[in-house]
Amino acid sequence: MKIYKLFFLGYGTIGRALTRLILEKESEIRGRYGVDFRITSVATRRHGLALDAGGMNAAELLRLAESGHKVGKRSFDENNLADWLLESEADVFLENTLTDRQSGEPAVTHIRTALRRGLHAVTANKGPAAFAYRELRDLARSQNRRFLFEAAVMDGTPVFSLFRETLPAVRVNGIRAVLNSTTNYLFTRMEEGLDFEEAVQAAQTIGIAETDPVADVDGWDATLKTAILAGVLMDHPLRPEEIAREGIGTLDPRAVRRARAEGRPYKLICRADRTAAGLSASVRPEQIPTEDPLASVRGTATMLCLTTDVLPGLIVAGTEPSPRTTAYGLLSDLLCIVRDTQKD
Amino acid sequence: MKIYKLFFLGYGTIGRALTRLILEKESEIRGRYGVDFRITSVATRRHGLALDAGGMNAAELLRLAESGHKVGKRSFDENNLADWLLESEADVFLENTLTDRQSGEPAVTHIRTALRRGLHAVTANKGPAAFAYRELRDLARSQNRRFLFEAAVMDGTPVFSLFRETLPAVRVNGIRAVLNSTTNYLFTRMEEGLDFEEAVQAAQTIGIAETDPVADVDGWDATLKTAILAGVLMDHPLRPEEIAREGIGTLDPRAVRRARAEGRPYKLICRADRTAAGLSASVRPEQIPTEDPLASVRGTATMLCLTTDVLPGLIVAGTEPSPRTTAYGLLSDLLCIVRDTQKD
């Protein structure tokens, strides 16, 4: 039985959902891949630092974190990350801290540190892939390690693994997508009759919108995701600031309702298309025909439509995102690393 | 440069489209995977048998086949398949003959022969996977070879590779799908005002319906595909005859139009669901709400919706199927074999 030791930096909803999923799938993973995942460190601002290179009791860890207790007595100091990584003997670094929306920091720095120390890095954060994909990918390659972020776009729905594993020798020429759950949910609720503020409140009630949903409403979240897709699927580095962006905040709910009634509903459409000049990308509310598959994306669902040189139209979509589906994206990255290593 | 030698049994539209795709992607495949595909035999009923273990000129082969000439002087005798396979020194057997709809023969026998001889087997035919999946899979495993059929369902849209490569540790609990292009196209055209016969003629004109489209219209094609999905994605062997089946031939085009106008369009829905008793599966016309993603499947498109234990709703869809997209399904299987071998 090969052991994979995990280092969690940040241990909020997603980290805990991943722990639960690993516990749930433990015997299946053992039977199928012959491996065990073991948590050897959890480092958090609020709950302190727990570290045991022999492996911690995951169920006990969950219980402590969920009841609001400290998971360890030591306190968090980011400057010590490299030492902790060493002490934890971890194979995989799971970065799940809060990141700055304009720079991807401090997640980018954390992942750089982990890759340099010879760990694989896995994250559900968009920042690292949106702002530093090429650097981190190349650093990972130079270390014979992986930098993976399946959960950063469309949660656990296969996007990057779909491209990497199931579309060999395909060239992606165009992307159209609905990538932001919150704005899509707002459109759906406004179409049902709510005004903008009521729709935002409804989104907050079901836990998908932040207290301040500005990064969703102004299109920034969707823009970061579009930048990642352009960089990874189209091999075209694009800084998020280079993407033409328009939010949904200025739309009148009555116009949203009328548009749906007239069969031309609004969606926050993300686009990237190869052009003679390179790549043209945008994120903006667009009215699309009801027959467009993107028009069928309701509530919190997301959908990605690819135009490629061999498949004219390939669609992948996911419904009902939750911490569990995000955690599955992380787990599928972990299992990608396991399978990789088994091939060496 | 590693050489993969290919044996084509049957060389119709699909075999030729694959040859074209291999020529088009030759330098990319060489650069990325370090391999060359070389055709060492083409065996056909109409165009004779060509065989050269050193490899044939693919462009010349295409030219001959497309102009209706014989590709080789020797004549086809199925009983000699095992000898030809040996003489061709082929690594991969591509089975693209016409198969019997009720048994999958003679394709099943051909693939069995090829696997026993130590070749990998790849096919776009539904028969082998619908009638003999477990036997052929197990035979392939015992020979350390692969039996792959990505193109058998939804052409080149990743279905089996999606499940195999991007959904580790996932349990599929339910399948809902629109899998038959012809019937879906007939619904779309009837909704636009054609009667049944006119719609069938239109489907024949664009080349998607057979002269006798009965296996599409009576739901049998969709049933074979449902049986394959149940067997591979749900690990539940199901003979096609065990699936409750109803065709679309008895539907009145006026009812079809009315259903769409009322927001409850008809689709030929394929279902498989785990139940306490095992698996319940059906293929039948159903009226579904316009908001259902399956309602957005227009014309020749296809869509598969999975319910799994971790992802509540995962959708994959493909539009504009053609011989080229089917050929891409075969190419992606070939590249799966290449990548497999590189891992050994």
Contact: A166, B331; criterion CB under 8 Å: no
- At residue B343 the predicted structure's pLDDT band, cuts being 50, 70 and 90, is low
CA–CA separation, A283 vs A247, rounded Å?
8
| Identity of the amino acid at A274 | R
Tokens standing for residue A282: 């945008």
pLDDT at A344: 55
Q: Distance from B297 to chain A by nearest Cα, in Å?
A: 7
**What pLDDT is recorded for position A170?**
96
Q: Point out the residue among A21, A165, A312 whose CB comes nearest to the CB of B161.
A: A165
Stretch B151-167: mean pLDDT, rounded?
Answer: 97
Amino acid at A67: S
**What residue of A is the nearest CA neighbor of B161?**
A166
User: Could you tell me which chain A residue has the CA closest to the CA of B158?
Assistant: A166
Contact A312 B295 (CB under 8 A): no
* ω into B106 cis (within 30 of 0): yes
Nearest residue on chain A to B165, judged by CA atoms?
Answer: A165
B246/B250: higher pLDDT: B246
Q: Tell me the CB-side half-sphere exposure of residue A178, using CA atoms within 13 A.
A: 31
CA atoms within 13 A on the CB side of B107: 29
Position B340 scores a pLDDT of 87
* E strand spans, A21-171: 35-44, 48-51, 92-95, 120-123, 147-148
Q: Looking at residues B327-340, what average pLDDT do you find?
A: 97
Cβ contacts of B335 on chain A, cutoff 8 Å: 168-169
State the complex-level ipTM. Answer: 0.95
pLDDT of residue A296: 92
* Nearest in space to B185 (alpha carbons), one of B250, B267, B270: B267
Mutation test of the interface with chain A: which of B21, B184, B308, B315, choosing the one with the most A Cβ atoms within 10 A? B315
Determine the pLDDT at residue A186.
Answer: 96
For CA atoms B209, B210, B211, B216, give the dihedral sign.
negative
Higher pLDDT, A10 or B76: A10
Q: What is the pLDDT of residue A343?
A: 66
Q: How far is A26 from chain B (nearest CA, A)?
A: 10
Q: Which residue of B has its CA nearest to A293?
A: B296
Write down the pLDDT at residue A334. Answer: 98
Instruction: Compute the count of residue pairs across chains A and B with CB atoms less than 8 Å apart.
Output: 128
The answer to whether the CB of A93 falls within 8 A of the CB of A119 is yes
B127, B224 Cβ separation under 8 angstroms? yes
What pLDDT shows up at residue A248?
95
| Cβ within 8 Å, pair B168-A332 | yes
Q: Is A314 in Cβ contact with B317 (below 8 Å)?
A: yes
**Position B224, amino acid:** L
The answer to whether the A2-155+324-343 and A166-319 domains have the same CATH topology is no
Q: Which of A315, A333, A334, A337 to mutate to test the interface with B (most CBs of B within 10 A)?
A: A315
- Would the CB atoms of A21 and B310 count as touching at under 8 Å? yes
Q: How far is B319 from chain A (nearest CA, A)?
A: 5
- CA-closest candidate to residue B129, choices B151, B144, B145: B151
Contacting residues of B for A324, CB less than 8 Å apart = 310
Percentage of chain B beyond pLDDT 90 is 88
A166-319 domain in CATH 3.40.50.300?
no
How close is the nearest chain A Cα to the Cα of B33, in Å?
Answer: 10
Check whether domain A2-155+324-343 has CATH 3.40.50.720, yes or no: yes
The residue of A26, A314, A320 whose CB has the most chain B CBs within 10 angstroms, and thus the best one to mutate to test that interface, is A314
| In chain A, domain spans | 2-155+324-343, 166-319
**Are the Cβ atoms of A158 and B168 closer than 8 angstroms?**
no
Give the β-pairing of A172-178 and A266-275.
Answer: antiparallel
Question: Best mutation site among A311, A314, A324, A325 for testing chain B: the one with the most B CBs within 10 Å?
Answer: A311
From the CA of B317, how many Å to the nearest CA of chain A? 5
Contacting residues for A293 by C-beta, under 8 A, at least 6 apart = A303, A305, A315, B293, B296, B317
Residues of chain B contacting A165 with CB distance shorter than 8 Å: 161, 165-166
Note the CATH architecture for domain B167-319.
Answer: 2-Layer Sandwich (3.30)
> Which residues does chain B have within 8 Å of residue A298's beta carbon, measured at their own beta carbons?
291
Name the nearest CA neighbour of A335 among A146, A119, A55, A82. A146
CB contact under 8 A, A311 and B25: no
- Nearest CA-CA distance, residue A35 and chain B, Å: 13
User: How many whole angstroms separate alpha carbon A165 and alpha carbon B175?
Assistant: 22
Residues from chain A that touch B303, judged by Cβ atoms under 8 A, are 315
Tell me chain B's radius of gyration from C-alpha atoms: 21
pTM of the full predicted structure? Answer: 0.96
CB contact under 8 Å between A319 and B328, yes or no, is no
Q: Determine the residue type at B110.
A: H
- CB-facing half-sphere around the CA of B82: CA atoms within 13 A: 7
Q: Do the bridges between strand A120-123 and strand A147-148 make them parallel or antiparallel, or are there none, so unpaired?
A: parallel
Q: How far is CA A9 from the centre of its chain?
A: 16
Q: Could you read off the pLDDT tens digit of each residue along chain A, which spans 344 residues?
A: 899 999 999 999 999 999 999 999 999 999 999 999 999 999 998 889 999 999 999 999 999 999 988 888 888 888 899 999 999 999 999 999 988 889 999 999 999 999 999 999 999 999 999 999 999 999 999 999 999 999 999 999 999 999 999 999 999 999 999 999 999 999 999 999 999 999 999 999 988 877 778 889 999 999 999 999 999 999 999 999 999 999 999 899 999 999 999 999 999 999 999 999 899 999 999 999 988 999 999 999 999 999 999 999 999 999 999 999 999 999 999 999 999 887 65
Q: Is A77 left (phi over 0), alpha (psi -120 to 50) or beta?
A: beta
Contact criterion met (CB < 8 Å) for B292 and A290: no
Phi, psi of B38 (to 5 degrees): -135, 130
Give residue B54's pLDDT.
97
Distance CA A138, CA A149 (A): 15
Contacts of B25 in chain A (CB under 8 A): 169
* Structure-model confidence comparison of residues B344 and B247, the more confident one: B247
The shortest C-alpha distance from A312 to chain B (Å) reads 6
Of B5-14, B75-84, B248-257, B299-308, the range with the lowest mean pLDDT is B75-84
